[in-house]
Amino acid sequence: MNHEYTGSSPDRKRLSADCENCFGLCCVALPFAASSDFATDKAAGQACPSLQTDFRCGVHTSLRQQGFRGCTVYDCFGAGQQLSQVTYGGRDWRQAPDTAKQMFEVFPVMQQLHELLWYLTEALTLQPARPIHDDLRIALNETERLTDLSPDALMELNVAAHRSEVNALLLRTSELVRTEARRQQKGPSGRQKSYGRGADLIGAKLRGADLRCANLRGAYLIAADLRGADMRAADLIGADFRDADIRGADLTGSIFLTQAQLNAAKGDAGTKFPSSLTRPTHWSASGA
């Protein structure tokens, strides 16, 4: 399937999970351990007991109440339907049990590639990154090519090396966007505190903080109080938002924010975020 990108408005719709066209891969391929996110243990390659014969979740409408909050956070970036309908041509692991083990092992590889497609697609919409748009297009088309590889080729793929190459471009994109945003921002300068990649901000008290243009790549924001924080133009790639309180926070214009990160946080009707994402259904008006 050829998705070569040549225009200026890449399509993000297919980079969202389409469970209707997936063989329940995340419910089988991925492991989970009993915790605040999952009620029980499950080994990789073992089907979740709630997975039905039609690959639907039997407790989908009550996952959080049943203790499976982690399932409501996860997003495969469309890797599930790509693997199910394209890579394996619509033949599911029950119909072809001899392919099951390989399919489950390939799924995380495809998920990583689709995550990179999401970031690259976003990067190509950012005007300050225009000086490297050609390089970003090349990386996007190469990543697309990799998603169309055969199962055997995907098993042999050095996805970590490809991620490293793409990440260098994403980092450059971030620098260009944040530099331009700092140049244009109004208000007192020099007020923002600097955070480095992977900053430990677990439980941090950042209510109302000025985090505009901050580098929060890979930051641990678990249970951080970010109520009313200004996170416009902040780089949020890989940041851990589990139980972060972002009620009333402004994340518009933030860079590389994903649906999974929003799903993991606690927000409310006052939380602002990029238009490419949707308000999680479990957020209440008060964010509780």
The CATH number that applies at residue 285 is 2.160.20.80
Tell me which residue of 103, 97, 128, 137 sits closest to 22, measured CA to CA: 103
Looking at the fold, whether 90 and 162 belong to one and the same domain comes out as yes
If asked whether residues 25 and 164 sit together in one domain, one would say: yes
Query: Is 260 in the same domain as 227?
Result: yes
Of 179, 207, 225, the residue that ends a domain is 179
pTM of the full structure: 0.90
- Report residue 165 as tokens: 């190459």
**Would residue 45 count as lying in a domain?**
no
The per-residue pLDDT for range 35-93, each reduced to its tens digit, is: 888 989 999 999 999 999 999 999 888 888 888 988 988 999 999 999 999 999 999 99
Structure tokens at 68: 């499976």
3 state DSSP class of 242: coil
pLDDT digits (tens, 9 = 90+) for 175-233: 999 999 999 876 554 455 667 788 999 999 999 999 999 999 999 999 999 999 999 99
- Is residue 18 located within the same domain as residue 123? yes
List the structure tokens of 201.
């901000």
Residues 17 and 148 in one domain: yes
- Which of 179, 213, 232 is the endpoint of a domain? 179
Query: Are 231 and 142 contained in the same domain?
Result: no
When divided into structural domains, the chain yields a total of 2
Calculate the dihedral angle through the C-alpha atoms of 224, 230, 235, 239, rounding to the nearest 10 degrees.
10
Contact 271, 248 (CB under 8 A): yes
For 241, the domain range is: 194-288
Q: Does the residue 101 lie in any domain?
A: yes
Position 144 in a domain: yes
pLDDT at 28: 94
- Residues 143 and 107 placed together within one structural domain of the fold: yes
Tokens of 185: 């921002």
Please indicate, yes or no, whether residues 199 and 241 belong to a single structural domain of this protein.
yes
